[in-house]
Amino acid sequence: MRTKSVIWASVLAASAICLAPLSAYAYTACNKEGDCWHTDSRVHFPGVTLSFHNDKWWDAHKDNARFHWHETETGHDWHHGYWSRGEWHAT
């Protein structure tokens, strides 16, 4: 009986973990010119090379003058555009 209880408890624990809400993933996207912005997904555009970083990377580099940080603004949908040389390019 003890074995069944352990198995049942394990199944319940695994189910709870799978059903628990996952925290939102956030990325910092950067291009080779140093334009960087926050996005919630790894977006890809033809002919555009972006690198993606986690929040720890952003914390470590947010004060670095090499990077040009762009915040969310009206008209900039991160799923349909990107920054390049300081200008927004809608796709």
In this structure, which amino acid lies at residue 70? H
- The pLDDT tens digits of the residues spanning 14-63 come to 444 443 344 455 899 999 999 999 888 898 999 999 999 998 999 999 89
In this structure, which amino acid lies at residue 40? D
Q: What is the rounded radius of gyration, in angstroms, for the C-alpha atoms of the chain?
A: 20
CA distance 49 to 35: 12
Q: Is the pLDDT of residue 4 over 60?
A: no
The pTM of the full predicted model, rounded to 2 decimals, is 0.65
